[in-house]
Amino acid sequence: MKPMNFLKKLLKTTPTPIKSTLTITSSNGFHMRPIAKFANEVKKFDATITIEAKEQKVQATQVPKILSLALETGDSFILYSVGEEAKEADSYLKDYFNKLMMEDSKVEIAKQEDENYQAPSIYGDTIVKGVGIAPLVKYKTIEIVDDTKKSVDIKEAIDLTKEELLNLYKDSIKGEETQIFLAQKEILSSEIFEKEFKSIEDLDKVFNQEIENIKDTKFKSKVSDYKDLKKRVLSYLGLKSVLKLPNTPYILLAKDLLPSEVNQISKTAIKGVILEEGSLTSHASILLRSFNIASIIVNKPICENSSCNYPNVIIDANSGDIILEPTSRDLRKAESKQKKIILENDKSYSKRFEPSRTKSGRKVRVLANITDVNSAKEAKDDGADGVGLFRTEFLFTKSKPSLEEQIRAYREIFELFDDITIRTLDIGGDKSLPYINIPKEDNPFLGLRGIRFSLYEKTLLKEQLLAIFKAHNGKRVKVMFPMVSQKEEFRRAKRVAFDVAREHNIDISNILFGIMIEVPSVILALKVFDKGVDFFSIGTNDLTQYLFAIERTHPILKVDLTSPIIISALKIIIDNTSKPISICGELAGIEEATPELINMGYTNLSVSSKLIPSLKEKIRSI
Give catalytic residues, as residue numbers: 283, 584
**H or E element at residue 347:** helix 328-350
- Measured at the CA of 18, the angle between CA 16 and CA 23, to 5 degrees, comes to 145
From the number of C-beta atoms within 10 Å of its C-beta (0-12, 13-18, 19+), residue 568 rates as exposed
CB 515 within 8 A of CB 490: yes
- List phi, psi (to 5°) of 477: -130, 140
CB 315 within 8 A of CB 129: no
CB 337 within 8 A of CB 316: yes
CB 260 within 8 A of CB 319: no
Count of C-beta atoms within a 10 Å radius of residue 354: 11
Three-state secondary structure of 484-540: CCCHHHHHHHHHHHHHHHHHCCCCCCCEEEEEEECCHHHHCCHHHHHHHCCEEEECH
Say whether 398 sits in a helix, a strand or coil.
coil
Say whether 132 sits in a helix, a strand or coil.
strand
Return the closest-CA partner of residue 321 out of 116, 109, 135, 110: 116
- DSSP labels, 11-76: HHHSPPPEEEEEE--STT-S-HHHHHHHHHHHTTSSSEEEEEETTEEEETT-HHHHHHT---TT-E
- Measured at the CA of 104, the angle between CA 79 and CA 446, to 5 degrees, comes to 70
Three-state secondary structure of 60-102: CCCHHHHHHCCCCCCCEEEEEEECCCHHHHHHHHHHHHHHHHH
Q: Whole-angstrom distance between the N-terminal and C-terminal Cα of the chain?
A: 87
> How far is it, in rounded angstroms, from Cα 537 to Cα 585?
9
Taking the CA atoms of the chain, what radius of gyration do you get in angstroms? Answer: 27
> How far is it, in rounded angstroms, from Cα 45 to Cα 85?
6
